[in-house]
Amino acid sequence: MELSVALAGAGYDELESLYERVSSTEEFRGQVRWAPPKNPARDAGAKPNAFLVAVEADPTLTVLANTLSGWMQTRRPHAWVRIAVRRQRRRVEITATNAADAAALLRRALADGD
């Protein structure tokens, strides 16, 4: 399953930092890529506003949740990480307030999408 990861309350540099953190995690090497623009004609040359992560289920979901939580606590505690389950209308927002529950929130979003 592919998840779309975007940030609110932060700019491209922060998104790039999170991308680098996730893509350098052993479980996600080769499983992370920048999301294509929604409107290629209009967005040509624009920086991406999201990246995509391929996850199987647990334990990779737990690894992703821990990576997001750790990044938020050390890097950008006031940003929101928005995660969407691709090809489904399921979303979850991870904030500094609920980051400790990130794994449960992600599992629920994936389960509700089945």
CATH of the domain at 95: 3.30.70
Query: Could you give the strand order of the β-sheet that contains 90-94, starting from the edge strand earlier in sequence?
Result: 32-34, 51-54, 2-8, 80-85, 90-94
Higher pLDDT, 83 or 17: 17
**What range defines the domain where residue 103 resides?**
2-112
Summarised one tens digit per residue, pLDDT across range 29-53 is 999 999 987 766 666 677 888 999 9
How many structural domains compose the chain? 1
CA distance 29 to 57: 16
pLDDT tens digit string along 60-71?
A: 888 998 898 888
d(CA 88, CA 111): 11
